[in-house]
Amino acid sequence: MSGRAPRLAAIGVAIVLLLTLPAWVANSYYVNVASQILLWAVAALALNVLVGYGGLVSLGHAALFGTAGYTAALLLQAGHGHFVADFAAIGFTLLVSAIFAILSLRSTGITFLMITLALGQILWGIAYRWASLTQGDNGVNVTTRPHLFGISLATADAFYYAVLAAFALAVISMAIFVNSPFGASLRGTRDQPRRMNALGYNVWLIRFLAFLFSGFWTGVAGLLFVYYNQFISPQIMALQTSAEILLMVISGGTATLLGPIAGAAIVVIMKNVASAYIERWNLVLGVIFVLIISFMPDGLIPGTTRIWRYGWQALRARIASARSVRRAGAS
């Protein structure tokens, strides 16, 4: 019990900080950065369902993210209301997720990854090439943000709270999911698919439902994104976005609830900071990948702790050996 108290306290502090953020940040630029972190955290949490708990690494999630954004943006442009556009966007994203799942769950491991990648690139190709529908490279503008309970989300603060609400719902649903029998059975299919099958679980169905759950929250994140930017272009559906979301999941540590959130914060902040100083975000992203994999394959947070502990032990060992040498010299 004693180990739990500081953790609960930390979560409590985090909630208070998040709720009061616009008050103490005051600068709308930073409030917007916070909105970005939270909306990408929703996407990272969604991908983590598959990567962390299901052991299924998808590189097609940017396409699901973009599908939701494009559906909403195009429907809004066609004159439909926010309510219709948003529901249709989530519904259509679920449908696309189901198609992705049916095709990619024919296999697992790298073949799964390659199929999701190919499917994702095809959706990117549609967004990019089917110019009569998607306006190609020019992208689609979203002129207005919706009103929620009579409050306009046009300001940075109001939008932040909307994103925070969605983020909170995502975290709560993930927490319930992780601790539910369904979450346990998904972990079971990750670790022991054959035994799960022998025990009478429908491994395919569990993975399929997990994919839909992941697709749903990815769609929500995509919707938040399109309202945040009020613009969407094919670029967001490219492999790079899938890779960034994956980096968020990996860098924070997979199969944890806080990992993807921390990862989203790290990546979004790095991206904002890096793009202020250098044009070459891709290069930085690539170097980060290579460095993480070469030195901290278990994720930034566990990796840093490990290296820290290792360094600390090495330091202590050196001090101890220096002492013994000195003692030997003295005797």
Partner 1 sequence: MSLWLTLAVNSIALGGLLFLLSAGFSLIFGLMRIPNLMHGSFFMLGAYLGVTFLDKGVTFWLAALLSGVAMALIGSLIERFLLKRLSGQELPQVLLTLGFSFIIADLCLMIWTGDPWQPATPAELRGALQVAGLFFPIYRLAIVAVAVVVAIALWLLVDWTRLGAKIRAGVDDPPIARMVGIPVSRLFTLVFALGAGLAAFGGVVGAPYLSVYPGMDAEMLPLALIVVILGGTGSLVGAFVGSFIIGFLFNFGQAMFPDLAYVILFLPMVLVLVLRPQGLFGKVVS
- Binding positions for partner 1, rule: CB under 8 A: 51, 57, 59, 103, 106-107, 109-111, 113-115, 117-119, 121-122, 125-126, 129-133, 238-240, 243, 246-247, 250, 280, 282-283, 285-290, 292-294, 297
Between 155 and 197, name the residue whose CB sits nearer to partner 1: 197
124 half-sphere exposure, CB direction, 13 A CA radius: 19
The C-alpha R_g of the chain, in whole angstroms, comes to 22
Between 43 and 166, name the residue whose CB sits nearer to partner 1: 43
Minimum CB distance to partner 1, residue 119 (Å): 8
Whole-angstrom Cα distance, residue 55 to residue 117?
Answer: 16
- 144 three-class SS: coil
- CA 292 to the chain's CA centroid: 17
Between 22 and 252, name the residue whose CB sits nearer to partner 1: 252
**Which residues does 161 contact at the CB level (< 8 Å), separation at least 6?**
22
CB 195 within 8 A of CB 95: no
**Which residues does 22 contact at the CB level (< 8 Å), separation at least 6?**
31, 156, 157, 160, 161
Minimum CB distance to partner 1, residue 259 (Å): 14
Between 32 and 116, name the residue whose CB sits nearer to partner 1: 116
Between 22 and 54, name the residue whose CB sits nearer to partner 1: 54
* Strand pairing category for 140-141 and 231-232: antiparallel
DSSP 8-class letter at 141: E
* Strand pairing category for 151-152 and 147-148: antiparallel
Minimum CB distance to partner 1, residue 118 (Å): 5
Minimum CB distance to partner 1, residue 309 (Å): 21
| Nearest CA among 288, 264, 309 for reference residue 34 | 264
Minimum CB distance to partner 1, residue 57 (Å): 6
Minimum CB distance to partner 1, residue 276 (Å): 17
- Beta partners for residue 232, in sequence order: 140
Structure tokens at 108: 């697992």
Minimum CB distance to partner 1, residue 127 (Å): 9
Between 30 and 208, name the residue whose CB sits nearer to partner 1: 208
Between 128 and 231, name the residue whose CB sits nearer to partner 1: 128
